[in-house]
């Protein structure tokens, strides 16, 4: 009799464990686990693992234009979207106020591949730098475009640019000093969005800067601020003009 009772208790415990495993859709990192047929589920978080509420999630049809499904993450950073049969991609964007401006960022998916009605799990992370996976393109960090003052023609690839953070970056973290050179398009890519003191040298002598296409005075220590959007130009970017004389 005692044996039967013990077996019954053991069966109850095993059943509860199985039920708990099925009901729990999160792993140890808070991410959703197995896909659910007919649904896309996921979690959005920042670089420290903190859930992000209010992130906009777009489930976009890969064939038919303007046939997406939208939702936002809840207070736990989670979302769930019911989808019909078809071919889909999941994207997430995060809007952040900083320095009296509002910036929008694509979040990084843990899986960028498409999916169908079988369902999928797509978790997202806010990254300040890195390459966006296809079908997106570009970098998560900010873009700095360098232009010369008319009549100043030097080898831009030999200008060393130094970005020194002023205060915290847009996610509240502390940045580090960044030393960079331009690419072949006179751009510097993938700078974490923040406020910086920009300095530079060419042939051992300082380069001066001002805001692009302005009448401001050129200065050796230039405070660079990224713009959420420069019309017909770029987003999350800064455009500066340089001057140098031997």
Query: Dihedral, CA atoms, 159, 164, 165, 167, nearest 10 degrees?
Result: -150
Topology agreement, domain 31-138 and domain 142-243:
yes
Average model confidence (pLDDT) across the chain: 88
In 10 A of CB 172, how many CB atoms?
11
32-84 per-position pLDDT tens digit: 568 899 999 999 999 999 999 999 999 998 877 566 899 999 999 999 999 98
Q: Is cis: bond before 135, omega within 30 of 0? A: yes
126-147 per-position pLDDT tens digit: 999 999 999 999 999 999 999 9
pLDDT of residue 32: 57
Q: Where are the domains of the chain?
A: 31-138, 142-243
173-206 per-position pLDDT tens digit: 999 999 999 999 999 999 999 999 999 999 999 9
Residue 96, strand partner residues: 103
> Is residue 235's pLDDT more than 90?
yes
Mean per-residue pLDDT, 219-224: 97
Residue 144, strand partner residues: 188, 238
What CATH number does the domain located at 142-243 have?
Answer: 2.60.40
169 vs 242: CA distance, rounded Å? 25
Residue 9: band (very low, low, confident or very high) from pLDDT cuts 50, 70, 90: very low
pLDDT of residue 33: 67
**Homologous superfamily assigned to 31-138:** Immunoglobulins (2.60.40.10)
Residue 149: band (very low, low, confident or very high) from pLDDT cuts 50, 70, 90: very high
Residue with tokens 């966006």, as numbered in its chain: 132
Of 84, 54, 50, 55, nearest to 69 (Cα)? 84
> Is residue 31's pLDDT more than 60?
no
**CB < 8 Å & 24+ apart, contacts of 200-204:** 200/159, 200/160, 200/161, 200/162, 200/242, 201/159, 201/160, 202/154, 202/155, 202/158, 202/159, 202/160, 202/244, 203/158, 203/246
């Amino acid at each position: 009799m005692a044996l039967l009772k013990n077996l019954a208790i053991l069966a109850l415990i095993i059943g509860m464990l199985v039920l708990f495993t099925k009901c729990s859709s999160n792993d140890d990192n808070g991410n959703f686990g197995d896909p659910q047929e007919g649904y896309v589920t996921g979690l959005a978080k920042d670089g420290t693992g903190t859930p992000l509420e209010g992130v906009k999630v777009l489930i976009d049809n890969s064939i038919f234009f303007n046939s997406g499904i939208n939702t936002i993450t809840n207070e736990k950073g989670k979302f769930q979207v019911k989808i019909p049969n078809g071919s889909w991609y999941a994207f997430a964007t995060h809007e952040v106020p900083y320095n009296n401006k509002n910036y929008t960022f694509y979040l990084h998916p843990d899986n960028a591949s498409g999916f169908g009605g079988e369902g999928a799990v797509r978790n997202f992370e806010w990254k300040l730098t890195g390459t966006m996976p296809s079908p997106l393109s570009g970098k998560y960090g900010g873009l700095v475009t360098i232009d010369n003052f008319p009549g100043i023609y030097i080898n831009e690839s030999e200008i060393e640019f130094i970005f020194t953070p002023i205060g915290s970056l847009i996610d509240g973290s502390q940045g580090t000093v960044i030393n960079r050179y331009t690419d072949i398009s006179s751009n510097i890519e993938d700078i974490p969005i923040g406020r910086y003191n920009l300095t530079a040298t060419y042939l051992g002598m300082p380069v001066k800067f001002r805001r692009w296409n302005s009448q401001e005075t050129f200065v050796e220590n230039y405070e660079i601020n990224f713009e959420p959007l420069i019309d017909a130009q770029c987003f999350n970017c800064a455009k500066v003009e340089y001057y140098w004389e031997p």
